[in-house]
Amino acid sequence: MRQPLVMGNWKMNGRRSMVESLLKAVMADIGDLFGVEVVVCPPYPYLGLVMDRLAANSTVVCGAQDVSAYTDGAYTGEVSAEMARDVGCRFAIIGHSERRTLFGETDAVVAQKFARSLAADLTPVLCVGETTAERDAGRTQEVILRQLSAVFKECGSSAFERAVVAYEPVWAIGTGRAASPEEAQTVHRFIRDVVARQSAEAAGRLRILYGGSVKAQNARELFGQDDIDGGLIGGASLAGADFVGICRAACIG
Ligand code: PEP
C-alpha cells in the first residue's frame, strides 16, 4: 500500500503576506485529512517562514523546488541539496519541465541533481513528461524512458528506492487541459514497469504522482487510478481551498 502524496509547487509566486494567508487557509482545513502526505514547495526565500508556521503541524512538510547539481562551494546563486535539507526540507523537485526548457537542464544535469538530493537525504521527485510535439509524434514512452535511464545511469539500479516520480505531460502544465485518467494511468504503468526492470520491489513501493492542470474537480478520478499515487500541483496550490480539496481527493477511504 503506497501512501498518497500531494505536493504544491508554488513556483516563483508570493510575498510574505500571501505565504501567511495561504498557509493559514491550508492549515485550517488540513487537520482532518486522513492518510495523505502533504508537501508545500515555496520559493527559497520563504522556506524559513513556511517552516516556522508549519512547526506546530507535522501533517504538512516542506520541499525545495530545485537544488544545485553541485555540492557546497563557489557557485554563486546556487542552493545545495545539503542546504535545503539543513533548513528542514524533506523533498526536492528535480527536472521540472520549466527547468528543462527555460533553463536548459539536460537529462545529465537532472540526474546529478537527483544524486545530490539522495546524498543529502532529501527525497528527489523526478519530473518526467513529453511535449506536445513528442506526444503527437507518438514518442511519449521513448522520452520518458530516456529521462528515467539518465537517472539509472547516474545512480545505479537502486535509484528509485527512495524517490518519487512525477509524470507531468508538458502540454498539460498550466493549460487547464489535464490528461484523462486513462491516458495518465497508461503512462504511470509504463513508468512503474521501467523501474521494475531494475527492481521489482522498488517499483512496487514507488509513488508516481500526476501533474498537469489538476483541480479539486478532476483529482479524485485521476488519483483513483491504480498507478497514480497523488499529484504535483502548480496553479491550484496557490489557493488554500483548492489545494486542500485536492488533498482531500487523495485521502484514503
Ligand atoms: C506544474 O507546473 O508542475 C503543474 C502541474 O502546474 P499546473 O498544476 O498549474 O498545471
Write out pLDDT tens, residues 191-201. 999 999 999 99
Q: Which of 12, 223, 232, 237 to mutate to test the pocket of ligand 1 (most atoms within 8 A of CB)?
A: 232
Residue 50 scores a pLDDT above 60: yes
- Point out the ligand 1 atom lying closest to the alpha carbon of residue 96: 3
Nearest C-alpha neighbor of 188 from the set 207, 216, 212, 161: 207
Catalytic residue among 96, 98, 105, 188: 96
- Point out the ligand 1 atom lying closest to the alpha carbon of residue 213: 10
> Residues lining ligand 1, CB < 6 A?
9, 168, 173-174, 211-214, 232-236
Q: Which protein residue's CA is at the shortest distance from atom 1 of ligand 1?
A: 234
Instruction: Give me the phi and psi of 208, to 5 degrees please.
Output: -115, 115
**Cα(186) to centroid of ligand 1, in Å?**
20
Q: What is the pLDDT of residue 57?
A: 58
Which single residue is written with the C-alpha cell 492542470?
213
Residue 253 scores a pLDDT above 60: no
Q: How far apart are CA 251 and CA 253, in angstroms?
A: 6
Yes or no: say if 185 and 227 are a contact pair by the CB < 8 Å rule. yes
Q: Which of 39, 170, 173, 209 to mutate to test the pocket of ligand 1 (most atoms within 8 A of CB)?
A: 173
**Cα(213) to centroid of ligand 1, in Å?**
6
Q: What is the pTM of this model?
A: 0.97
Mean pLDDT of 140-148: 98
Which single residue is written with the C-alpha cell 486522513?
34
Q: What is the pLDDT of residue 133?
A: 97
Whether residue 96 lies in the annotated active site = yes
Q: Which protein residue's CA is at the shortest distance from atom 6 of ligand 1?
A: 234
- Which 3 state secondary structure label does DSSP give 132? helix
Mean pLDDT of 129-135: 97
Q: Which of 5, 6, 7, 9 to mutate to test the pocket of ligand 1 (most atoms within 8 A of CB)?
A: 9
Confidence of residue 39 (pLDDT cuts 50, 70, 90): very high
The residues with which 129 forms a beta bridge, in sequence order, are none
Let me know how long the chain is: 253
Distances (CA, A) of 183 to 173, 180, 190, 219, 224: 15, 5, 11, 14, 13
**Cα(238) to centroid of ligand 1, in Å?**
11
Q: Is residue 62 classed exposed, middle or buried when 0-12, 13-18 and 19+ CB atoms within 10 A define those classes?
A: buried
Residue 155 scores a pLDDT above 90: yes
Whether residue 168 lies in the annotated active site = yes
**Cα(10) to centroid of ligand 1, in Å?**
9
The helix-helix angle for 140-155 and 181-196 (nearest 10°) equals 30
**Cα(19) to centroid of ligand 1, in Å?**
18
As given in the structure block, the three cell numbers for residue 174 are 498550466
As given in the structure block, the three cell numbers for residue 64 are 525545495
**Cα(234) to centroid of ligand 1, in Å?**
4
Nearest C-alpha neighbor of 44 from the set 65, 58, 61: 65
